[in-house]
Amino acid sequence: MLRLRYFVPVLILFFLGYVSEIKSQEGNTEANVKAVLVYKFTKFLHWPENADRDTFKIGVLGDAEIASALKIITHEQLIKKKPAKIEELNPSTPLKSYNIIFLSQKSTMDIKNVLQKIQGEPVLLIGDKEGFGEKGAGINLIKQDGKIKFEINLSSLRENGIESNTQFINLASVLYD
């Protein structure tokens, strides 16, 4: 019984780790792959109870294609038992009411400004630019060997009250603490 308890999460995480390769082979765009990963990450992360909101909000800064793909993926889906709401954001948008902020490499907004706006709040910052993981993004999507992989900044997750399980953390290509 104990083996089965750990086998299912490991199998799910194995699938998550290779979803980018599978999707790329099917001819989907990089934006679609990133959107799928953002959605899948929600299944392995836990927000604090005080982050209780009526909807699960994901805001996207600087990439309409990723926002559009997320809208399609989450249409009529629940995330953490709440309806998903995806919004394209601009630099003047208040960010504290979101569960996830996706900061695209295409955004004109600086990562330092985003981190200041969400400091101490239960908001996960996900980026897709070299160096974002080291600079404080909770998760950063990177391209390695033609595949999209991810980095995790453990101290950023802790500071924002977001928890993850060990199996998920072990799938990261790079860990910052």
Question: Percent of the chain, pLDDT > 90?
Answer: 76
- The CATH number for 98's domain is 3.40.50.2300
At residue 90, what is the residue type?
A: N
Identify whether the C-beta of residue 165 lies closer than 8 Å to the C-beta of residue 155.
no
Half-sphere exposure of 130 (CA within 13 A, CB side): 2
Helix axes 2-25, 30-41, angle to 10 degrees: 160
* pLDDT at residue 51 in the model: 66
* pLDDT at residue 28 in the model: 67
Q: How far is CA 83 from the centre of its chain?
A: 17
Residue 6 phi/psi, 5-degree rounding, is: -95, -25
How many structural domains does the chain have?
1
* pLDDT at residue 49 in the model: 79
At residue 161, what is the residue type?
A: G
- pLDDT per residue as tens digits for the range 82-125: 999 999 999 999 999 999 999 999 999 999 999 999 999 999 99
Supply the range of the domain harboring residue 22.
2-176
Cα separation, 45 vs 116, whole angstroms: 22
DSSP state of 50: G
| Model pTM score | 0.84
Regions of the chain with pLDDT less than 70: 1-28, 50-52
